[in-house]
Amino acid sequence: MYINGDWVFAASGDKLTTVNPSTGEPIGTAPSANARDVDIAVGAARAAFPAWSGLPQGERNKVLFAIAAKIRENAHDIALVEGEEHGTPYNDAFGACMGAAEKFEWSANAAAALKGDEIPVPAANTLTYVKREPVGVIGFITPWNLPTIMTAVKLAPAIALGNTCVIKPPSINSLTGLKFAHVLSMVEGLPKGVVNFITGSGSVAGAALASHPDVDMIGFTGSSETGKAILASAAPTVKKCVMELGGNNPVLIFPDADIDASLKVLAWRQFNNSGQHCSGPGRYYVHEKVYDEFVSKFAAYAESLKVGDPSDKSVQMGPLVSREHQQKVLGYIDGALAEGARLVTGGVASETGFFITPTVLADCTHGMKAAREEIFGPVAVLIKYTDADDLVALANDSDYGLCAHVWTRDIGAGMKLIGKLHVGAVFINCQMLANEQPWGTSIKESGIGKEGGTYGLLEFTDAKLVCVNYN
């Protein structure tokens, strides 16, 4: 593990094994940290905080630009590790590395522009303003679905603003996390202890990080169930928490929608990264007038995809991340079929590795388990609706509130839905996630706070009120 600028083993000597999801075979081991290791890492981050937070913004920015350059320099190697351990097709993994580098550059530039606010008060000769300061030591528990880019999403703004960090990558992506740490270890100017990586299980290392009394904030992306457990661990010390949790995102296809244009976005998003996207479509409500066309074209797209070895640059979809997750997704498919859904295409699991062919389920109903829960896999759940149905009520009838997708040529009608959809983001005739945009939501069980954009930067600061009488 990477703690205080050194490579160390777990104090206990315990290790965990990671597996290649394309083959099901072990590919390596990583230390399995316990509470003692977490304590050492947090201590290193705490010791590094005063000097790092005290640097002028321009000096920290030089380090962030150096990190971005080093990521680009090593993008090929990072992509190979992510492909082998996570199953990300090479082109996608390489693109994620480029995106990770951009996160550091954008965060540096945005942090330099971040300002406090003067507050007018009804008192003479008094100056009142809010000053933004770094939170302190942040514990990050990163998700397994996008291991490289999500590490950058969390780390870049945090250290840009002067915080120090302890990162626990998901146990099944430990080697990818340590590869990221290796790249950071080669960056000149990054002080020891500013960024520390520990590997281990969520139940031991993750829980110790979430409950550690000297951690000021927790950043987590993952399931709503795990998020609730982390909140419970963080509660005794009332830690600040930013969490992007589960989603079951509704897609509303109106009768006037451009079906071909919608599928270029939705079908790609459904099967990219084997459907393991929090922002991906969860359930499709398709108007009866265009339902058959939508089903047919969606199936054709699914069948056109090349599924296979992620190292093959022509492959468009790799395996799911683990055998456990593969079986979970298959359970949703089987359950939907038992409830009356129609298998249009896909639904086949591989004998070797953790693949599932791109799957389209038609004639689903709103009450099916597959339509109400987060599948997080390459499975499209298609539901026919009529003019008599209350589409907004169906879309909002969920424990989640991450985002919604609307497709219609009537932009006015689409715009009128924005205030009615109880979600944190609405995408009309597109889906765009840029560095400038805030992401995540505090709606329902989909999370707390924001990541990305200026809103996300502010999460990594505390607002300090200053009041001066200058009589």
Whether 440 has a pLDDT exceeding 80, the answer reads: no
What is the pLDDT at residue 432? 87
71 and 156 share a domain? Answer: yes
Same domain, 71 and 181: yes
Percent pLDDT > 90 in the chain is: 98
The CA distance from 95 to 149, in Å, is: 9
Task: Summarize pLDDT for 195-227 with one digit per residue, the tens.
Answer: 999 999 999 999 999 999 999 999 999 999 999
Distance CA 160, CA 59 (A): 10
Quick one: 239 and 98 in the same domain? yes
Q: Residues 6 or more apart from 168 whose CB is under 8 A from it?
A: 33, 139, 140, 141, 142, 197, 198, 199, 200, 202, 205, 206, 209
Where do we find the tokens 């430990």?
A: 174
Query: Which pLDDT score is estimated for 108?
Result: 97
Distance CA 294, CA 292 (A): 5
**Is residue 196 located within the same domain as residue 299?**
no
Say what the pLDDT of residue 442 is. 77
CATH number at residue 294: 3.40.309.10
Lowest mean pLDDT among 257-261, 278-282, 360-364: 278-282
- Do 48 and 176 fall within a single domain? yes
Query: For all residues of the chain together, what is the average pLDDT?
Result: 97
pTM: 0.96
Tell me the C-alpha distance between 46 and 210, whole Å: 15
Catalytic residue of the set 241, 278, 364, 403: 278
Active site residue 97: no
Read off the pLDDT of residues 117-173 as tens digits, 9 standing for 90 and up: 999 999 999 999 999 999 999 999 999 999 999 999 999 999 999 999 999 999 999
Mean pLDDT, residues 421-441 taken together: 92
**What is the token pair recorded at 208?**
């110790």
Q: Say if residue 407 is in the same domain as residue 456.
A: no
Examine the residue annotation and report whether 278 is marked as an active-site residue of this protein: yes
453 exposure class (CB count in 10 Å sphere: 0-12, 13-18, 19+): middle
Q: Are residues 258 and 282 in the same domain?
A: yes
Condensed to tens digits (0 to 9), the pLDDT of residues 283-309 reads 999 999 999 999 999 999 999 999 999
Mark whether 84 and 193 lie in a shared domain. Answer: yes
Any idea what DSSP says for residue 202? Answer: I
Start-to-end C-alpha separation, the chain:
55
Other C-beta atoms closer than 10 Å to the C-beta of 426 total 17
Give the whole-angstrom CA distance, residue 155 versus residue 165: 8
Domain hosting 191: range is 2-246+445-469
Residues in the chain: 471
Domains: count for the chain: 2
Q: Report the side by side order of strands in the sheet with 379-385.
A: 342-345, 359-364, 379-385, 281-287, 249-253, 404-407, 426-428
DSSP 298-336: HHHHHHH--BS-TTSTT--B---S-HHHHHHHHHHHHHH
Instruction: For residues 80 and 150, give the distance between their C-alpha atoms in angstroms, rounded to a whole number.
Output: 17
Give the tens place of pLDDT for each residue, 63-76: 999 999 999 999 99
Neighbours of 194 (CB within 10 A): 25
pLDDT, tens digit, 9 for 90 and up, residues 105-116: 999 999 999 988
Q: Are residues 134 and 267 in the same domain?
A: no
Catalytic residue, chosen from 244, 374, 451, 459, is 244
Q: What is the CA radius of gyration of the chain?
A: 23
Q: Is residue 77 located within the same domain as residue 132?
A: yes
433 with 462, same domain: the answer is no
Measured CA to CA, the distance from residue 320 to residue 335 in angstroms comes to 19
Q: Which CATH number goes with the domain that contains 455?
A: 3.40.605.10
Same domain for 81 and 145? yes
Q: What percent of the chain has pLDDT over 70?
A: 100
